[in-house]
Amino acid sequence: MNLQKNISFIVFAIFFIILSIGLFTDTKKIQSPLINKKLPEIVLPDLKSQNMISHNFLPKETFLLNVWASWCQACIVEHEKIKNLSNKGIKIVGVNYKDQREDAIGWLSIYGNPYLFSYSDKEGRLGLELGVYGVPETFIIGEDGIIKDKIVGPITDEIINKRIDPLFRKNND
């Protein structure tokens, strides 16, 4: 009788622990399966000129690929950080995601344009290839074209310190 009571309790305790862990897991922090994969070849036009951008125009050094849109509130908040990073010398390429060209260009003239250029991903096809679901999203691309990290949500100082700076520090040494 005691043994059965103990077994019952242990089974209950195990389930309690497992479910508690699940309850406190932030599902938005899942690591992207694209990390350590090569950045797929991008075949999209430039936002301003609407000409197709050759793959050669991507920076040959470690750079940031920032997915943004004029309809995205969090992008306005993040944009200050993006401009700061650009001022520090970090190359940033934009992906204008599911947006209207006029709105996007207007947004850049209001909030500033730190991007080398922005791809126009009107249909969100590049977004699908990159597993985008929560704009803004930022990819750190290594000089070998490998995706080193993917940041979902706006960039914060903490993210800059912990995830961005370390990957760029090597270049400055």
Partner 1 sequence: MISKIKYILVGIIFFSNTYAEDFDNQRYQNLIEEIRCMVCQNQNIAESEAPLAVDLREKVKEMLLDGKSNIYIKNYLTDRYSDFILYDPPKNTQTALLWLGPVLFLVIITYLFYSRRER
Footprint on this chain of partner 1 (rule: CB under 8 A): 4, 7-8, 11, 15, 27, 30-34, 98, 123-124, 127-131, 133-134
Phi, psi for 73 (deg, rounded to 5): -60, -45
* Minimum CB–partner distance for residue 97 and partner 1 (Å): 10
* Minimum CB–partner distance for residue 106 and partner 1 (Å): 20
Q: Looking at beta carbons only, is 28 or 169 nearer to partner 1?
A: 28
Distance, in Å, from the CA atom of 12 to the CA atom of 120, rounded to the nearest integer, reads 53
Q: Looking at beta carbons only, is 57 or 133 nearer to partner 1?
A: 133
* Minimum CB–partner distance for residue 173 and partner 1 (Å): 33
Q: Looking at beta carbons only, is 89 or 131 nearer to partner 1?
A: 131
* Minimum CB–partner distance for residue 4 and partner 1 (Å): 6
96 contacts 108 by C-beta, under 8 angstroms: no
Q: Looking at beta carbons only, is 130 or 160 nearer to partner 1?
A: 130
Supply 27's token pair. Answer: 């599902």
